[in-house]
Amino acid sequence: MQESKVITLLRHVVLLVFVAIAVYPALNVFSISLRPDNRLRSTDLAIIPENWSFKSYEQLFTEQPFLKWLANSLIVSTGVTVTGVALAAIGGYAFSRFRFVGRNATMLAILTTQMFPATMLLLPLYIVIAKLQLINTYLGLMVFYTSTALPFCVWQMKGFYDTIPASLEEAARIDGCSRGAAFWRVILPLAVPGLVITALFSFMAAWSEYIMAAQVMQDEEMFTLPLGLKSFQATLSTQWGLYAAASILVSLPVVVVFLLLSKYLVSGLTLGSVKE
């Protein structure tokens, strides 16, 4: 495909401007993590501060159970991502293709669970989790995160399936596929971009949450990363260096996950490649 030079230039200008905007505040965080003197603010704009050092990073790995927290977070987030994607993949399909009784009502009901201010739900949720003896378990967190991520995931998958023409399944059915097989073999592979977004979203929902995690995880051994991170924070005496360094490290896995997943963000319904 050929594009005029002007358009290409325009693309790059837009992208470069927004890359600068996207990156600068994050660079600021990086700068805090390099500061030797535990300061959030600075009176100059230099990204690499005077007397910079990687001491905060070193401390994270040597003096803090950072790796343990990382492992906990990975377990929880992976669990949530796998269940979230699996449930949303089938749930969204049903909402997209079937006109069953209570379909619209259920879709709306799913949405309503997101409408309540989360802070008001903490107290009753804590009571539930305590009564079910899920305090200090991965399962407690996973169930909660999955249920908060699912409404979006289901709706999103439904939206993706909607963009896939129903004629595809009909074609497969004519060739002797069952309804389930048509879904599994024809539709699901086409919905990969949707699955990727769903996966990324569920992962993020579990990866960065800390308010609920603080209720469930009562033992430093069981802390997820955001909780560990928050433990560097104290009213008026936060360890900014560690806090910023840990934040930077926390975001790296997200970037990695995105890198891995974005490979699948490009395929989808590429009919051009089917021509023989």
Partner 1 sequence: MTLKSAMLRRWAIRRVGAAHQYNACSWWAVPTLLVFAVVSGCSRHDSRTVITIWHQSRPTEKEFLQREIVEFEKTHPQVHVRALYKETEELRAGFQAAALAGGGPELIYGPSDVLGAFQTMGVVQDMTPWLPVESRDDFVPGALTYLPIRDDLAKKSLVQIGDRFGNHLALVYNRKFVPVPPKTTDELVALAVKNTLDEDGDGRKDRYGLVWNFTEPFFGIPFLTGFGGWVFAEPSSNARNAETATTAGGKIVPALDTPQAVAAWQFMQSLQEQGVAPRNCDYEAADSLFKSGKAAMIINGDWSWADYLKESSIDAAVAVLPTVNATGQPMRTMFAPKGYSLNVNTKQPVADLAMAFVQHMTSDVVQRRLVHELRMLPVRKIIQKDPLFETDSTLQASLAQLKNGRLMPTETELRAVWDAMRPPYQAVLGGGMTPAEAAKTMQREAISKIEQIHADAVPDNSVVALNIAGLVVVGALVVWQRHSFARFVSDWRRNRLAYLFVMPSVVCIFAVIVFPFFYNIVLSLSNMSLANFRDWRVVGLQNYIEVFGDAKIWAVFLKTIVWTAVNVAFHVGLGVLLAVALHGPVRGKSLYRILLIIPWAVPAYITALSWRGMFDYEYGAVNLILTQMAQFAPLRWLLSLANLSPPVNWLGDVGHAFQACIVANVWLGFPFMMVIALGGMQGIPHELYEAARIDRASRWQQFWHITLPLLKPVLLPAVTLGTIWTFNNLNVIWLVSNGGEPQDATHILVSYVYKAVFNLYRYGYGAALSMLIFFVLLAFSLVFLRRTRATESVYG
24 scored as a contact of partner 1 (CB under 8 A): yes
Q: In the block, which residue shows the tokens 């977004």?
A: 197
56 scored as a contact of partner 1 (CB under 8 A): no
Smallest gap from Cβ 66 to partner 1, in A, equals 15
Q: Which is nearer to partner 1, 66 or 146 (CB)?
A: 146
Smallest gap from Cβ 254 to partner 1, in A, equals 4
Q: Which of residues 129-148 bind partner 1 (CB under 8 A)?
A: 130-131, 135-139, 142-144, 146-148
Smallest gap from Cβ 184 to partner 1, in A, equals 7
Give, for 239, the enclosing helix (H) or strand (E): none
Q: Which is nearer to partner 1, 37 or 54 (CB)?
A: 37
Indicate which single residue of 70, 163, 205, 241 sits in contact with partner 1 (rule: CB under 8 A).
163
Smallest gap from Cβ 140 to partner 1, in A, equals 10
Q: Tell me how far apart the alpha carbons of residues 157 and 159 are, in angstroms, rounded to a whole number.
A: 5
Contacts with partner 1 by CB under 8 A: the residue count is 163
Residues contacting 187, CB < 8 A, separation 6+:
93, 161, 164, 168, 169
255 scored as a contact of partner 1 (CB under 8 A): yes
> Which two three-digit tokens encode residue 136?
């200090």
What interhelical angle do 103-112 and 66-97 show, nearest 10?
A: 150
- Asked whether the beta carbons of 40 and 55 are under 8 A apart, the reply is no
Per-residue contact flags (x/-) with partner 1 for residues 204 to 243, judged by CB under 8 A: x---x-x---xx--xxx-x---x--xxx-xxxxx-x---x
Indicate which single residue of 6, 48, 62, 175 sits in contact with partner 1 (rule: CB under 8 A).
175
108 scored as a contact of partner 1 (CB under 8 A): yes
Q: Tell me how far apart the alpha carbons of residues 100 and 84 are, in angstroms, rounded to a whole number.
A: 23
- Helix ranges (H only) for 35-137 are 55-62, 66-97, 103-112, 118-131
Q: CA Rg, the chain, in Å? A: 23
70 scored as a contact of partner 1 (CB under 8 A): no
Q: Which is nearer to partner 1, 70 or 265 (CB)?
A: 265
168 scored as a contact of partner 1 (CB under 8 A): yes
Smallest gap from Cβ 121 to partner 1, in A, equals 4
What sign for the dihedral angle of Cα 42, 43, 46, 52? negative
59 scored as a contact of partner 1 (CB under 8 A): no
**Pick from 48, 51, 57, 25: nearest CA to 37:** 51
